[in-house]
Structures are given as structure tokens and as C-alpha cells.
Structure 1
């Protein structure tokens, strides 16, 4: 897995990701403790609301950035968003009112909503070899898992010698280091998109259209809901469960958060070899089932060790779903559509979190934690079953399909879809001119694009 780090540009981007993740992990713990200081027993409501606001920013901003990402300089965009995140997170130590948390979380999240999809869509352009890209996905997932494991442990150690406010400043420093690493490499320019429409809605909805018309991605959306239900329970209610129900301290909160990273990291280490022999569908469905079972085990009202075990299983299940996601997206679109499709995944998956976070916070505070386990477990069960139905077990990459007659204009090369006569004025390839497609039957790797607007039955 580590061989992929011999690629200098990817290595710097990976280190930028790791640095930003570690800082964000410190902020996750610090934000939970800040909410507990400001709202005490209502900390779950504050966290649930703050994270719902975060999801609103993700859902709204990501498609806008994805629509125009192919027209923007990648490095300038990524560095600017890192600097914005650094400046905003450094304001969190000075918060004295709950509403101030909400405003700052929205600003940080808006910047992240622009940064993450562009960052993710850049990696397959850097690593065009499929095997390298699979390793990079697993390494990226491992980075998330190590952050979940090590950041809470580091936070627990730092909290022994400093107040949690300092963790916010360390996150700001991490974003600055991330920006410096991005500056140090030259990134490939995004491939030109065929879409020249000035209509903002058409641009924004382009990635969504590809996503929702692709059966395997509809299954992924249902599994995103499972990840959100399990993750919301863990993120929102860990501090409430450990501090209020179990009566334990800050270090115990960090330990329970770390258990999630342990489960997720174990799966990320084992998954690359597994994906060489097994398709994504059974692996990801197994992850959904594991998270569902783990939520229902919460009905046993576990103690500290039992809760760490449940969270370990939740982390393992989430990694089974999320690690293959980038590969699934890459094989479901044309290269020029990657920014739009990655943005659609970012937006739709966080739309699931937008539902799950308030449920976890409000039901946990107003009804009870056991009842919240039941509700979110039921959502995970229904969503896993839905994924098995909308994602066919027979899901080949290459499909035989008919082409309806079509006349349109877009930037193109003379590939299998474009064998037509010219008059001499059209210019060198790639070029753009009106052209006609006849009725035809053929086989190739099928994705939704300007020539294939409907999935074949």
C-alpha cells in the first residue's frame, strides 16, 4: 500500500490530507467539550444542531463547486480554502455563546465542502493506474482511520496539560501546513467538460443526474444513510453517554472515540487484497449489515468496555462501505465528469448526515439514548435492505446497449462514438461542431454521459 507514496505529488497531497485530518480530529473532541461547557446536559442538542448546520453547508456548497471545478485552477482553489479554514477555526476558542458555534461551523464547513470533492477528484488524475488508485483509496481510508484512532488519544494526552481551547489553535496550524504542502506540488489541470451551458442549475444538477441514474450509485446512496445513522449516534451521543450516563471524564470520551478508528483501520488494512478478489457490492453490503447489528446491540446499555466494542464494530462497518466508494465513483463516469460526480457524492452523502444528526441529538436528549439506538438501528436496517434491491447483484462494467439517433454539439475526439465526415473547417481534435449519431448496438464500459442518458435495462 505504501508504494504509492513514491509518487511525489500524491505523497504531498496525502500528507496534506493527514495533517488536516489530525487537526480536525482534535477539533472534534474540543467541540464536544465546548458544547458540554456551554450547554451541559443539552450538549447533544447543541452538537446535533451544529452538525446539521455543517451538513446544510456541505449539501448546498459542494454541488456549486463541483459544477465549476473543471474551470478553476485546482491548486489556487485548494490553498485558498485551507487558509479560510485556518482563520475560522482559530476563532472557536473565543466563543462564548451557542449561536457563535453555529456561525463558525457553517463557515468552516462551506470551505470544506469546496475543498474535499476537488481534492478527491484530483487523485485519479494523478494516479491513472487502477492498481495504484485502489491502494491510494485504501491509504486514504487508513488516514481517516488513524485520525479517528490517534487524534482522540492525542487529545486525551494534551488535555492533561492544556485546556481544550488550545486544540482549536492546533487545528488552525494544521490547515496552514496542509496549504503549504499543496503549494509545493504541481497539480494536473482538470479535463475540459463538454458542458458549455451558462445555466447554473444544469451545471449543478449534472453530477446528481449521473449519480441517480446509475444503479450501483443508488445503492451507494442507501448505504450512505446507514453510515450516517451509525456515525451520528457515535459522534453526537458519545460525550452524553460517557459523561452523563456512565459518569466518566474527558479521557474516557477520547478513548471511546478512538475505538471507532481502531475498527475502521483494521478493515482498511485488510481491504486492498480483498478487493482484488471480490467485487465492491458484497463488501459494502456486509458493512451495512455490521453497522445495523451494532446499533441494535446498543439496546443492551453497555458499559465503557462494551461501548468501545460497539464503536469498534461501527468503525469496521463504515470502512467496509466508505473505502471502495472512490473506486465505485471512478468507474461510473467519464474523467471530465469526476469533479461533478465526486461533488454529488459529497453532497448526497452529507444530506444523509443532515437527517441523522438532528435525530441523534434531539431524540437522545428528549426521549432517551436507548430509544435513539432503536430508531437509528431501524433506519440502518431499512437502508441496507433498500441497497440490496436497487443495486443489482449482476453489475458488469461492460454492457451491450442500443444507441438512439442523436444530433448534438460538444467537444470530442474521433473515438468509437464519433466516426463522421468533416468539411475541413472543424479544426484539430478535440474540436466542437454539430454532428449526428446513427442508431447502433455495441459494447463498452457503460457510464451515464452525453451519449448515454439512460441506464440500459
Structure 2
């Protein structure tokens, strides 16, 4: 897997992703502490609102950013957006009102909504061999999982010597370092052969996406994966602290199980995808993750859940989540020619976050009103629905794509 690091351009891009992720992780911790400092016991509502604003920014801004991406030099665009994120992060330590948090979060996540799809679309242009690109997808998944494990530990260590608002300086440093790494390499920036209107450019990615059979199947599987992750991310703290009556450190153990399962999947996916088609691997991952959620519901119904049992089940959910979504970049790359890739990646970014925009509050509402057992049952049903739709609309036989002239490649 590490052999692709011999490619200098990809090596710099991966390093840019890692330092930006670490900066984002520090901001997540600092934002929670800032919300508590300003709102006290209402900090949860503040963070929930901030998360909703983040998802709205992702859903609304990504297609608009993709419309402009095809007209701009990709390297310059990525650098500017990194610097915008760095500047917004520098403003966060000076926040004195809750509404200011909301405004800055919207600006920060709007820049990320433009940056992330364009960055993701650049990788297959740099690594043109599909096996190399598959390894890159797994490394990217590992980077996300390691960030979720290491950022809280790094933040805890830093808080021993600095105040929480100083963590935002680390966030800004991460984005500046990312910009420096991006500007240090030459990036491909394919341009369309003919000029398109703003409406065509804004909606092109969504139209190509929804006009492609396998990507409609991917969207259904994304719903399944989002059902799994929403249950884990939103409700783990309640399950561990309220239902199991355990300490805060036990929350970290349960979440580490989820991250660990995702990392195991990332390690073995390149080998699996060499032997099995993407569809089979992704459907199996979704089915496995859904099954673990159903088992969790059964154990809660029989009052036999323990911390280690929860960690193992969450590892299964993490494995299923990663196996379902990590290969998605291969499908997107096969669907679009190079100049359309930013638009198609932006469409996946928008539609996937639309799933989370629905499922995050649903998971929280069910937990508050129905309890853990019922929440697990309903989130399992939601995951099963996505899996069933994917099986129905994504046939095993390879389909030709009629929209935009993008034919399936071998």
C-alpha cells in the first residue's frame, strides 16, 4: 500500500490531507469547549446547531463550488480555500457571542465544501493506475480514522500547557501547512472542451450522478452507511454514560472500536477489490454493518450489553461503514471524464451529507424519545432500507451510461 508514496505529487497531497485533518480535529475539541464556555449547559444545543449548519453548507455550497472549479486552476483554488479556512480559524479564539460561532462555522465549512471534492477529484488524475488509486483511497480512509483517534489525545496533551482557545491556532497552522504542501507540486487541471452556462455547471454533477445506475446504487448504500455512523456518532456517549453507567473514558473505548474496525477494512480493501467487483464488496460491507446493528438491538433487548461487547459491535459497524464507502471513489472516477470529476465528486459530497443531515437529527430524536433499543431497531431498519434499494437498482451486469457520453470502463 505504501508503494504509492513514491509518487511525489501524491505524497505531498496526502501530507496536506493529514495536517489539515489534525487541525480540524483540534478545532472539534476546542469548539466543544468554546460552546460550553459561552453557553454552559446549553452547549449541546449550540454544537447540534453548528453541526446542522455544517451539513447545510456542505449540501448547498458544494455544487456551486463545483460550477466554478472547472473554470479555475485547481492548485490555486485549493490553496486559496485552505488560506480562507486558516483565516476563519484564526477568528474563532476571539468569539464572544454564540451567533458568531454559527457565522464562522458556516464560512469554514463552505470553504471545506469547495476544497474537499476538488481535492478528491485530483487524486485519480495524479494516480492514473486503478490499483494505485485504490491504495490511495484506503490510505485516505486510514488518515480519517487515525485523526479521530489521535486528535483528541493531541488536544488533551496540548491543553495541559495552553488554553483551549489556543487550539484554534493549531487548526490555522494545519490549513496553512496544507496550502504550502499543495502549492509545492504541479497539479493537473483538466478543462472542459466547450463553455457551459452556470445552470449547466451547477447541476451537471448531480445529473451525471443520478443518471448513472451504479451511482444511484452508491447513494442507497451511502444512506445505509450514514445510518450506521449516525447511530454511533450521535448516541455512543448516551449509551455508555446513561445505559451502561460507565465513565467518560469508556466512551473513548467504544468509539475506538468503531475507528479500529474502519481501519481494518481500509487495510484489507485493496486486496479484496483485486479479487471481487466493487459492487460485491460494498454490498457485503453494508450487510455486515447492518447485521451488527441488529445484533446490538438484540443484546440491548436482553440486557446483556457490556462495554467490550459494544466496542466489538461498533468495530463491526466501522468495518461495514468503511467497506461500503471507501471504494466509492473508484465508481466516481469511472463515471466521469477528468474535466467532469470535480462535479461528480461534489455531487457525492452533497448527496452523502444530505443523508447525514436527515439521519443525525433522526438518531438523536429517536434516542431522546424512544430509548436505545428502539433507536437501534429503527436505525437498523433505515440501514436495511438503503441496502434493499441498492440491491434492486444496481444490477450485477455492467450498465452503459447514456448521460454525458460517459461509458462504463472495464
TM > 0.5: yes
Q: Which residue of 1 is the match for residue 120 of structure 2? A: 120
**Using the alignment, how far apart are the partners of 1:171 and 1:90 within structure 2?**
8
Structure 2 partner of 1:167? 167
Partner of 2:191: 192
- What does residue 82 of structure 1 align with? 82
Q: CA 1:137 to 1:122, structure 2 compared with 1: closer, same or farther past 3 Å? A: same
Once the two structures are TM-superposed, the CA of residue 293 in structure 1 deviates from its matched residue by 2.4
- Sort the Cα spacing of 1:234 and 1:164 in 2 relative to 1 into closer, same or farther, 3 A: farther
CA-CA distance at 1:374 after TM superposition: 2.6
SS in 2 for 1:71: coil
Distance 1:10 1:201 in 2: 33
The reply on whether 1:17 has 2:17 as its aligned counterpart is: yes
CA 1:298/1:31 → structure 2, altered by over 3 Å: closer, same or farther? farther
2:222 to 192, 212, 224: 224
Q: Aligned match of 1:282 in 263, 280, 283?
A: 280
240-249 vs 67-76, greater mean Cα deviation: 240-249
CA distance in 2, matches of 1:306, 1:273: 28
1:135–1:288: structure 2 CA closer, same or farther, 3 Å change rule? same
Q: 1:8 to 1:168 in 2, by over 3 A?
A: same
Q: Secondary structure at the match of 2:398?
A: coil
Distance 2:326 2:169 in 1: 30
Question: Contact 1:117–1:343 at 8 Å: present in 2 too?
Answer: yes
Q: CA deviation at 1:250?
A: 4.7
Which is richer in strand? 1
Contact 1:48 1:236 in 2 (8 A): no
Deviation for aligned residue 1:174: 1.2
1:251-281 superposed Cα distances (whole Å, 9 cap, x missing partner): 4444433332211111111110110110011
**Aligned-pair CA distance for 1:96:** 5.2
Measure, in 1, the Cα distance between the counterparts of 2:238 and 2:46.
Answer: 11
Please report the TM-score for the alignment, with normalisation by the length of structure 2.
0.89
Identify the residue that residue 233 of structure 1 maps to in structure 2. Answer: 231
In the other structure, the counterpart of 2:365 is 362
Q: Provide the aligned length of Structure 1 versus Structure 2.
A: 403
Alignment of 1:242-321 (within 5 A): 242-246=240-244, 248-299=246-297, 300-301=299-300, 302-321=305-324
CA displacement at 1:448 relative to structure 2: 4.2
Aligned match of 1:209 = 207
Alpha-carbon distance between aligned partners in 1 of 2:36 and 2:314, rounded to the nearest angstrom: 21
User: Aligned-pair distance for 1:26?
Assistant: 3.0
Alignment partner, residue 404 of structure 2: 450
Which TM-score applies when normalising by structure 1? 0.80
1:329 match: 332
How do residues 27-38 of structure 1 correspond to structure 2 at under 5 angstroms? 27-32=27-32, 34-35=34-35
